[in-house]
């Protein structure tokens, strides 16, 4: 099912990477609108993860990205008329495309999130993701009924 996503960036490692991103948005989104150098609205049947995996390799280590489903049914603002018309345009889509492949370094990304202490609860732990390892690899409970 197609939907709108807002995809916003903070470019701390240099100027906005619009030239590098446009071909990606052309390939992944059925329709898109860039309303500033770091903010896009896309109309797509793809999941947010397709955009994340495809755009992440372009970003610098200090850049950031937010992808959020966008409901345009209630809106207000000050934009050029063509932008309002783009949002109101009727769209028809065929079947959803296949998902984008995960990045080649996905294992390294996930490994960096796993807490080596499976009993950490994330409060006062060693880092912002402490406790995540417990969720991904829960310890076995000898008292749990199977």
Contacts of 57 (CB under 8 A, 6+ apart): 103
pLDDT per position as a tens digit, 120-144 = 544 444 554 454 454 455 556 565 5
pLDDT per position as a tens digit, 70-117 = 999 899 999 999 999 999 988 766 566 677 777 666 666 555 555 555
CATH 3.30.70.240 residue ranges for the chain: 3-88
Could you tell me which CATH class the domain 3-88 is placed in? alpha beta
Query: Percent of the chain having pLDDT more than 90?
Result: 55
Q: Secondary structure of the chain in the HEC alphabet? A: CCEEEEEEEECCCCCCCHHHHHHHHHHHCCEEEEEECCEEEEEECCCHHHHHHHHHHHCCCCCEEEEEEECCCCCCCCCCHHHHHHHHCCCCCCCCCCCCCCCCCHHHHHHHHCCCCCCCCCCCCCCCCCCHHHHHCCCCCCCCCC
Encode burial over 106-128: b for 16+ CB neighbours within 10 A, e otherwise: eeeeeeeeebeeeebebeeeeee
**Stronger pLDDT, 111 or 51, i.e. the higher one:** 51
């Amino acid at each position: 099912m197609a939907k709108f996503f807002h995809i916003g960036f903070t470019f701390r490692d240099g100027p906005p990477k619009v030239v590098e991103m446009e071909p990606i948005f052309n390939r992944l989104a059925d329709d898109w609108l860039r309303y500033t150098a770091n903010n896009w609205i896309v109309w797509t049947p793809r999941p947010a993860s397709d955009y994340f995996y495809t755009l992440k390799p372009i970003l610098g280590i200090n850049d950031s990205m937010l992808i959020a489903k966008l409901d345009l049914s209630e809106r207000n603002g000050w934009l050029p008329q063509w932008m309002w018309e783009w949002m109101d345009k009727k769209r028809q889509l065929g079947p959803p495309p296949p998902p984008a492949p995960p990045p080649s370094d996905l294992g390294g990304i996930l490994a960096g999130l796993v807490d080596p202490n499976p009993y950490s609860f994330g409060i006062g732990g060693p880092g912002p993701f402490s406790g995540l390892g417990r969720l991904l690899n829960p310890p076995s409970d000898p008292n749990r009924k199977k």
